[in-house]
Amino acid sequence: MAGTVIVHNPESGSGSHTETVRTRADLCGYALEQSEQAGDVVALTREAAEAGYSTIVAAGGDGTVNEVVQGIDRADAFDDVTLGILPLGTGNNFAKQIGITDIETAFSALEDGARRTIDIGMATDRPFVNSCVAGLTAESVSGTSGESKSRIGGLAYVLTTLRTVTEFDPLHLTVDSGMGAGEPPTWSGEALCVMVGNGRQFAADGTTQANMEDGLFEVAIVKDVPAIDLMSDAVLERLFGQDSAHIDRFQAASVDIRGHSADPVRFTVDGDIIQHHELDLSVRSNVLQLVVGEEYDPVPMDA
């Protein structure tokens, strides 16, 4: 059965979109499935994929997008299913990155927008589309000024969080990018956080956004920094800028992060927190078929 189904999380964002989604789904001839409780979205998506829908639309925020991707993965249906997004959440961070800025844009992209095939990340067996961050729990980039975001990319996210945290214990970690047997680990030491980005906000040096079709993560290790709560934006941007001595950046297709303390490391995987002493992250290259908006530029521009 080819066809489109919307998997809707009625609790996402303002939680006041049920009627709109129902009406629009009817108009477009799309099927509609609604979650009744947390966790339903994964199961509903899996069933929809197994029933043969060729487009599954995640209607909700970033958490819903991640759960739909988990459902497609569990049905082993990446080859058969295209993911669409209706941005109904609070942040809608991932949707914005792929040019799906509002509901109207989302519906027109579903009708005749471009389809791309992007990478996803795997944290062991758990898929993610945007990021996996070890350590410092960075909530979102939404509290960060647009100007600051464009100058320092994904690290704006760390800055926003650092401002709100008064104290944190650095992590003692080894970060190994899988260079092969006998190679020394890529990095070992104390870090505030390690950001492993698949999404576009994690730009490599010299580009405004990351390439989500290149089979590589953008990795940034934020090493211990001086107390920053009183620093101005200009000083912070120097500290965290592209040539910062406080940050190591590299690209890798796989990364193994190992904590050296008795306590497990906290990882934020597309917004969800999990704890592990060691986590293996790898890219599944060009696996997720995705409906994108006009602003999505597969080849990142120069900054």
Ligand X SMILES: Nc1ncnc2c1ncn2[C@@H]1O[C@H](COP(=O)(O)OP(=O)(O)OP(=O)(O)O)[C@@H](O)[C@H]1O
Residues with Cβ within 8 Å of residue 48, at least 6 apart in sequence: 5, 7, 31, 33, 56, 71
Site membership for ligand X, residue 33 (CB under 6 A) = no
Whole-angstrom distance, CA of residue 172 vs CA of residue 134: 11
Q: Closer to ligand X by CB, 261 or 275: give it.
A: 275
Buried b (16+ CB within 10 A) or exposed e, 213-237: ebebbbbbbbbebeeeeebeeeebb
| Shortest separation between residue 256's beta carbon and ligand X, angstroms | 27
Residues with Cβ within 8 Å of residue 187, at least 6 apart in sequence: 173, 174, 175, 221, 248
Site membership for ligand X, residue 63 (CB under 6 A) = yes
Site membership for ligand X, residue 90 (CB under 6 A) = yes
Find the binder of ligand X among 41, 110, 120, 288 (CB under 6 A): 41
Q: Closer to ligand X by CB, 141 or 193: give it.
A: 141
Q: List binders of ligand X among 7-26 (CB under 6 A).
A: 9-13
Find the binder of ligand X among 3, 31, 40, 287 (CB under 6 A): 40
Structure tokens at 8: 């809707």
Q: How far is CA 78 from CA 71, 238, 284, in A?
A: 10, 42, 11
| Shortest separation between residue 298's beta carbon and ligand X, angstroms | 23
| Shortest separation between residue 237's beta carbon and ligand X, angstroms | 26
How many binding residues for ligand X (CB under 6 A)?
Answer: 22
Contacts with ligand X, residue ranges (CB under 6 A): 9-13, 35-41, 60-64, 89-92, 271
